[in-house]
Amino acid sequence: MSPNTGPWFRSTSLPGMNLHIYPTKQFKTVTLVLMMQQALTEEAVTPTAMLAQVLKRGSARYPTIQAMKRYLDNLYGASFQVDVDKRGERQVLQFYLDLPHAKYLSGEKDLLEKGVAFLADVLLHPLVDEQGGFAPRYVEAGKDSLRRQIQGIIDDKIRYAQERCIEEMCQNEPFRLLPYGRLEDLETVESKPLFQHYRRVLEQSPIDLFVVGQVQEQDVVSAVQRHFTFQTRQVKPLSPAGGDPIHVDEVRSVVEELDVTQGKLNLGLRTGGLTLASPEYPALMVYNGLLGGFAHSKLFRNVREKASLAYYASSRLDSLKGILMIQTGIEVSNYQRTLDIVKEQLEMMRQGNFSQLEIEQTKSLLVHHLREVHDRAGLLVDYAFRGLVAGVRQTPDELIQRILSVTREEIQQVAERIELDTVYFLRNRQQEEGAV
């Protein structure tokens, strides 16, 4: 435990939901983020993604985007968004509202109350037509928006390669799914069944509301209790967000050809079941930083700078799923040489071939990033929610202390658990000498 952990979220269980309040004078706004999570499944991923699209377009009280905008303008330019994301093997609906604090506005005292009422109205009182379904025009608009979002990933080849590597690596796991749904399922979504899906999600999904800002805890609790009234709630317990740990029996290699000018070599690795919930997680963070998290990392220095093989080379960790992804952008003809050097870096990590200076540099940068969590309300909420999903209540300052105490031996023990699962290569359609 850190001797100076500072304030943190105060959690309260209310009928139908959990409330997490972070009182602070640091921000001139009050941020409210409501999270609804459910299991990531092939059957539900597309209709749940559609809910984000439909709910943000209108409610019973504010039936159009224009009506919503007018009301938000009356709240001194409050910003509002509904989105969908993936946290491990869970799909999360996110409702985001940012309000200016009333103390900075003359004569305004009930902005928090109005903001909570607006958020509750959007979630609990959607716009429904006479046939008992969502407004068809909003359903069609939502389909078009999701279709563009999914198709847009193909145009971003770096993102496309990342997602395709995950899809190949996790082909028998829910994590393979995009949180935005599946293109082939969009046309099957209809207004009335979508509303029935909304009712199931509202009844069964865990709901967590995070509030960050200069607020009085009792004022928030009272406002939430007044406006968030649920008819029936039978929350379904969720499986661990990481899924079952998977041992790699054989490395898979996948080559895909598209019209690209630059090759994308991505590697998917398993962490041996290590996640944010594991005692070894701080050592895993340092491992990832040494391997490819920063500019002094092995991938950056040896693949990009020394060998001049890559336009970019890095690694990133999914702390809830327990996988580590390596991504590089290369000339197609440099595929095998790049792959060999990347594998060399993994072996060097297993052998403990990294200096004390590299360890200290990595820890320093990790500490810097964790301290930045306190600078933005959104980062505070994301950090706290990830901990909630993992079942870990730990402040950034407490995690910093654990990182600073990580030893060389602990990093090497983590390295020995890392297993290469999938090698994915996106290349051009034209064969080149020396390429795959």
Residue ranges of the domains in the chain?
Answer: 10-227, 252-427
Structure-block tokens of residue 36: 């609804």
- The secondary element (H helix, E strand) that includes residue 73 is helix 65-74
- The helix/strand/coil state of 215 is coil
- Identical fold between 10-227 and 252-427: yes
Neighbour-count burial for 280-293, b at 16+ CB within 10 Å, e otherwise:
bbbbbbbbbbbbbb
- How confident is the prediction for the chain on average, in pLDDT? 94
Q: How confident is the model at residue 206 (pLDDT cuts 50, 70, 90)?
A: very high
Choose the weakest-confidence range: 67-71, 228-232, 323-327, 416-420. Answer: 228-232
User: Which residues 6+ apart lie within 8 Å of 101 measured at CB?
Assistant: 27, 28, 29, 30, 111, 213, 214
Whether the predicted pLDDT of 102 surpasses 80: no
pLDDT at residue 1, rounded to an integer: 33
Ranges assigned E (strand) in 198-354: 207-213, 252-257, 263-270, 310-318, 323-330
The predicted pLDDT at position 320 comes to 98
Given this model, what pLDDT does residue 3 score?
A: 36
pLDDT tens track for 312-335: 999 999 999 999 999 999 999 999
Is the CATH number 3.20.20.70 carried by domain 10-227? Answer: no
Q: Which residue has the tokens 């290590």?
A: 274
For domain 252-427, which architecture applies?
Answer: 2-Layer Sandwich (3.30)
Asked if 14 and 228 count as a contact pair (C-beta separation under 8 A), the reply is yes
Least confident of 175-179, 219-223, 429-433: 429-433
pTM for the complete prediction? 0.93
Give the mean pLDDT of 402-408: 98
- Distances from the Cα of 2 to the Cαs of 5, 26, 334, 371, in angstroms? 5, 21, 47, 13
Measured in residues, the chain has a length of 436
